[in-house]
Amino acid sequence: MIPADVKLDTLGYFCPMPIILTSKKIKELVPGQVLEVASDDEGIKKDMPAWCETTGHGWVGLEEEPGADKTIYKAYVKKS
Amino acid sequence: MNATKLEPATALAELKETKPDRVTLVVLSGDMDKAMAAFIIATGAAAMGMKVTMFFTFWGLNIIRKEGATSSATDWMRRAFGWINKGGTENLPLSRFHFGGLGTSMMKKVMKNNRMPGIAELLETAQDLGVQMIACTTTLGMMGISKDTLIDGVDQLAGVSTYLAEARHGSVNLFI
C-alpha cells in the first residue's frame, strides 16, 4: 500500500486520457505530494513512468488490483 | 523565402532560448481515424510538457472547419467541390469501412459506449493544452475554404516556411 495525498480516478478512460488528466491534476499538488492515478488501461504501466521521465516528476511505483473482469492499476507519482 | 516575413519571430526567439521538446504534425488526412491518431499524439505530447504544433493542409483542413461549412468561393467548380467536401469533426469519414457513413457511425457509437473521446473532444482537449494550430493558406485557397469558416482558435494561417521553421526545432515530426 503506497500512501497518496491526492487520488485521481481515470477508470474507463483510454489512452491518452489518463495521462492528460494526470498532467492537469498534478498542478493542484504541492512539490513532494504523491498522486495516485487509478486506471483500468494496461498501457498506464509503461505510460506513466515514461510521462514521469519526460516531465521530471518522480515515479513512485505501481500497484495492481486484480478484479473479477478487469485489473485496476494504481500508479503513484510524486510531484517535483 | 523571406525570413523577415515569418510571423512567429518572437515565438521562435523564445523557442531558441528555452529549447523545449517540440513535436510538429502535418495533418493532410481528413479521415476520422487518422485525425484521431494525430490528436492522440498531439494531446499526449502536450500532456508530457512538449510544445506541439499541428499544421493542417488539404483534407486535414476539414477537421478545423466549422460544422457543415461549404465553399465560399465564387467559381462554380470550387462551389460544387465545397458541397461534397463538407467540413467539421462530425463529417469526417473513416479511412476504411466508411460504407456511406454507416461504418463510421457504428464506430462512433462503439467509441462513445467505451467512453473514448471523439474528434471534437480531442480537438477541444488539444486547444486546452495549448497545442498550436496552423492552417495552410495555399490549400485553403485551392479548396475554396475561407478563413471565417474555420473554427475559433486556429492560431495562424501560414505556409511551408512557418512549418519548417518550427519543424527544424522539433525532435518529433510526423506526417499524417
Tell me the nearest-neighbour CA distance from A75 into chain B, angstroms: 16
CATH T-level fold of A6-78: Translation Initiation Factor IF3 (3.30.110)
Q: What is the mean pLDDT of chain B?
A: 86
Interface touch A19/B44, C-beta < 8 Å: yes
Interface of B with A in 123-162 (CB under 8 A): 125, 129
pLDDT(B82) > 90: no
Closest C-alpha among A17, A20, A24, A14 to residue A6: A24
Domain ranges across chain A: 6-78
Q: Cβ contacts (< 8 Å) between A12 and chain B: which residues? A: 114-115
- Asked if B4 is an interface residue toward chain A (Cβ–Cβ < 8 A), one would say no
The stretch B88-107 carries a mean pLDDT of: 91
| Interval A53-80: pLDDT, tens | 989 999 999 999 998 888 999 999 999 9
- Asked if B9 is an interface residue toward chain A (Cβ–Cβ < 8 A), one would say no
| Interval A13-38: pLDDT, tens | 888 899 999 999 999 999 999 999 99
Can you tell me the ipTM of this complex?
A: 0.79
Pairing status of strand A58-65 against strand A72-78: antiparallel
What's the pLDDT score for residue B13?
Answer: 57
What's the pLDDT score for residue B7?
Answer: 60
The CATH number of B20-175, from 3.30.200.20, 2.40.50.140, 3.40.1260.10, 3.50.30.30, is 3.40.1260.10
Q: Cβ contacts (< 8 Å) between A54 and chain B: which residues? A: 21, 48-50
| Interval B6-62: pLDDT, tens | 565 555 555 555 556 899 999 999 999 999 999 999 999 999 999 999 999 999 999
pLDDT(B91) > 70: yes
Query: A16: cis peptide before it, omega within 30°?
Result: yes
pLDDT(B73) > 50: yes
Listed in sequence order, the residues at least 6 apart from B22 whose beta carbon sits closer than 8 Å to its beta carbon are B15, B50, B51, B52, B53, B166, B169, B170, B171, B172
What's the pLDDT score for residue B18?
Answer: 56
Nearest CB to B115; choose among A12, A19, A51: A12
More confident residue, B68 or B168: B168
Predicted confidence band at B3 (pLDDT cuts at 50, 70, 90)? very low
What's the pLDDT score for residue A22?
Answer: 95
What's the pLDDT score for residue B2?
Answer: 45
Distance separating alpha carbons of residues A60 and A43, to the nearest angstrom: 17
